[in-house]
Amino acid sequence: MPPSEPGTAAATQHREGEDGNIRTYLRIRPSKNPSGLFAQDEEDVTRLKFDIPVDLKSGEVINNTQTRHEFKFNGVLGANATQEQVFDSIGKDAVLNVLDGYNSTIFAYGQTGSGKTFTVTGGAERYVDRGVIPRCLSLLYSEFKRRSDTQYSCYVSYLEIYNEQGYDLLDPSHETKALEDLPRVALMEDEAGNIHLKNLSMYMSATEEEALNYLFLGDTNRAISETAMNKASSRSHCIFTVAIEGRRAGGEKVTRSKLHLVDLAGSERVHKTNATGQTLQEAKYINTSLFYLEMVIVALHERTRGRRHVPYRNSMMTSVLRDSLGGNCKTVMIATINPEAPHTEESISTCRFAQRVSLIRNAAVVNEDLDPQLVIRRLKTEVRGLRDEVAYLRQEAREGDEPTEQEHGALRQACCEYVDQPDAAPLKELGLGALTLTRIRACFAILRGMVLELRAAGGGGGGDQGTVADLQKALQERDAEIAILVNMVKQGKAPPRAGTAAAASQAEAKGGAPAWEQAKAGANGGQKRQGAAAAAPPAKAAPPIVLYPSDRHVLDQPQQAFAYFRQRYPPGAAIEENKALLQKKYTTAKSVGARVNQARSTITYLKNTIEQIRRERAMEGLMDREEGKEGGAEEEDPEEAKYKEAIEQEKRVYKEGFQELRELKAEIERIQQLLEKARLKMQSDFDTWIEWHS
């Protein structure tokens, strides 16, 4: 009998019955020629069954090769699964776990050309093809804004492991140096067994746009080359790390967590790729590191049977992923397979590896620490308050002299600082200096005067402070940004900012290339130097990607030549799709902006109506007192209550519309970046096309 598969029913029950096991998902790459040798179980869609016919070379030969294979996953994403569906399955929970203080990891594993890099990073042409990393960053910064009670700091790094050597993809030296001349990232281990990476830079990113710019810069510096199985094969393992630090307002605890997004290089069989030279050397290192990864997986599974040693140190990749595999981390694996018949053997091998990974149990805990600075500050405040209290009691609550004009000004300043503290900041005590009853009474008088001033500014009543006064403050803060956004929508473009496509266009108009384009040019130069050792360079830059016109006179006229090239340019469909999507976002933003402006106008009208009702009530009360009538307890007018409720409803509409408008702004800028990048790429391809003809 052949050995049982790791995906048997007993193993599946063992995995599902434990919490904390690594979750595994399978993604099937779309193909025009699927083998038809596997299918999802009709009763359980998370199961995948392979049914391979027996290959009988002759009637007398007995073939005992296993023909049926069955594997169980947490989810199977078919060939029609979109990038958004993939992110909803594997990315959302990882992001939310990181925000809650847990370390999280998402890593892609599979054969070369099975779609790992497309899943993790995404396509560069269409906006809807964004991968797991850009979508994780978008959700992270959205959650930062939504969780306003916590202050977050975000840092990113990008590590490349090429031929078992670590390199920093965000190092500026990539622009001017070849890969072998760059400083290497070194592994260091402290006494507690924690891994530290020397020479790996980490950059703080305050906005989603900054984080995406670092991602794009790292992708342009990554080592890729063409193989027989993939025209743009990733020849290195890459780990994009997002470090989060969260501090809750008024709390002393700090959460520190990391999100590792790992794109492993694809395994490949040399006898299929016929690799030679530099490509063969890269394949050896890739397959060796993946073999060591499998050794770690097997050792972690055997820990339940008494095995203690896990060979993390065999490779740099397994050392970096030590916590992600069997440590303090919540890990998700997505296995990618090619459904075509020649790759069936590799697909089964990938599924077997995923089954072994699913048996590993991690022990994830919340990473919380006490901030010593906040603790010291709190203790100092408590000591200061206790000393003032002791001094007050020792003086036996003496009256004291009346405060001078200078002392009265200092007390008023202390009261203003106490009242004007931000809601999210820890509450500070009211500093009065030496406590006396005279000083206490003076402070109460100052605070009472402030309350009376606020009531007078709000229309004469104290009950509207939570509605009208707060609303005025919110409107003043948002009016400027709303005006900018609405103006942007009317003009049909986003405001130029550093790092956006508009800023890149301005820089280009002045004669210089955008920063990321310069970085890409430098990185490509380094990759060309690296690839020079493998084979001699071709005679010309690249073959023509668009057929030449029958009338060669068209090429002598630049405008007609460019129009001819643009109509037949292969990525033109993706560019037009992004333009249509951008126009759709503009239309949506216009309607949302109109809704926000309408809500603001309605709020102003309701506020004026409430003030008019209060003035009428005040006049009626004055007349009653002049006539000698005694009024009972003042009750809230039902009509005023109705208008207040309407104001609260309009405030919700205003806030929801404003948030939607900000999200649309970010999406519009992202699509404009893609269009600008596609425009530059088309211009470069056109220049190459013309040069090839000449």
Alpha carbon 444 to its chain's center: 48
Binding site, by residue number, is: 110-117
Q: Which two tokens stand for residue 353?
A: 């590896």
Concatenated DSSP letters of 373-384: HHHHHHHHHHHH
Q: Are 631 and 624 in contact (CB under 8 A)?
A: yes
Q: How far is Cα 172 from Cα 169, in angstroms, rounded to an integer?
A: 8
Say if CB 317 and CB 161 are below 8 A apart: yes
Spatial contact of 106 and 84, defined as CB atoms under 8 Å apart: no
Give the count of alpha carbons within 13 A of 92, CB side only. 7
Going 413 to 416 to 421 to 427, the CA torsion angle's sign is: positive
With the C-alpha atoms ordered 414, 419, 422, 427, is the resulting torsion angle positive or negative?
Answer: positive
How far is residue 522's CA from residue 491's CA, in Å, rounded to a whole number?
35
DSSP 236: S
| Distance in angstroms (rounded) separating the CA atoms of residues 439 and 430 | 12
Short-list 55, 72, 102, CA closest to 10: 72
CA distance 296 to 22: 14
> How far apart (Å, rounded) are the C-alpha atoms in residues 7 and 250?
49
User: Cα(174)–Cα(431) distance, rounded to whole angstroms?
Assistant: 55
Query: Hey, what amino acid is at 443?
Result: C
What DSSP state is assigned to residue 34?
Answer: -
Residue 581: which residues within 8 A CB-CB, separation 6 or more? 127, 128, 671
Please report where in the chains the tokens 């004291």 appear, as a residue: 400
- Selection from 239, 291, 212 nearest residue 107 by Cα: 239
Nearest Cα to 339, choosing from 94, 114, 525, 10? Answer: 114
Contact 327, 296 (CB under 8 A): no
Q: How far is it, in rounded angstroms, from Cα 58 to Cα 295?
A: 38
Annotated binding site for ATP: 110-117
Residues found in the chain: 694
Question: What's the Rg (C-alpha) of the chain?
Answer: 33
Helices 83-90, 132-146: inter-axial angle, 10-degree rounding: 60
Looking up tokens 């003042």 gives 634
- Type of residue found at 6: P
* Cβ atoms of 101 and 366 closer than 8 Å: yes
Question: Residue 587: how many CB atoms within 10 A of its CB?
Answer: 11
Q: Read off the amino acid at residue 288.
A: T
8 A C-beta contact, residue 297 and residue 289: no
Contact present, 335 and 24 (Cβ < 8 Å): yes
Question: In whole angstroms, what separates CA 96 from the centre of its chain?
Answer: 11
